[in-house]
Amino acid sequence: MADSSLDALAQQACVRGAARLADPALNDLLVALPGWQHIADRIAKTYRFAGWHETLAFVNAVAWIAERADHHPDLSVHFNRCVVSYSTHDAGGITRNDLVCAARIERLFA
C-alpha cells in the first residue's frame, strides 16, 4: 500500500475519472484524516471556530483549495462551524480525490 500519511495524501494530484474506492482501501486511507468519518457514500468532518469571521475565513480557504483541485465539497456553513463533506458524484461514492482534498483541508490546521 502507498504511504497513507496526511502529507503524502495531500501531495497527490486529483485525477479525472477516479474510481470509487472499495471499503477496505477507503478505511486504510481514512486513518490519515483525523476526525473524518465515512457516512454512507461520503466522508465528512465538522470544523468548529470561535465565531463568524473565523468560519468564513475557513470557507474561503476551502474554496481556494477546491478550485485549484477542480474538486468541490459540499459545505454546510453556520455561525461557528462548517461541515465539509466529499463524495465524487460521477463515481457514485468516495474516490481518492475526495481523500486528497480532505487531507489538504487538514493541512490548514497543521
Which domain covers residue 62, as residue numbers? 6-107
Instruction: Give, rounded to a whole angstrom, the gap between the first and last alpha carbons of the chain.
Output: 24
Q: What per-residue confidence (pLDDT) applies to 66?
A: 97
CATH of the domain at 28: 3.30.1360.20
Provide the domain count of the chain: 1
> Per the domain annotation, does 1 fall within a domain?
no
> Per the domain annotation, does 101 fall within a domain?
yes
Q: Model pTM?
A: 0.92
Q: How many CB atoms lie within 10 A of CB 48?
A: 11
> Per the domain annotation, does 37 fall within a domain?
yes
Q: What is the pLDDT along the chain (110 residues), one digit of tens a residue?
A: 344 599 999 999 999 999 999 999 999 999 999 999 999 999 999 999 999 999 999 999 999 999 999 999 999 999 999 999 999 999 999 999 999 999 999 998 76
Q: What per-residue confidence (pLDDT) applies to 109?
A: 76
For β-strands 74-77 and 81-86, DSSP reports them as antiparallel
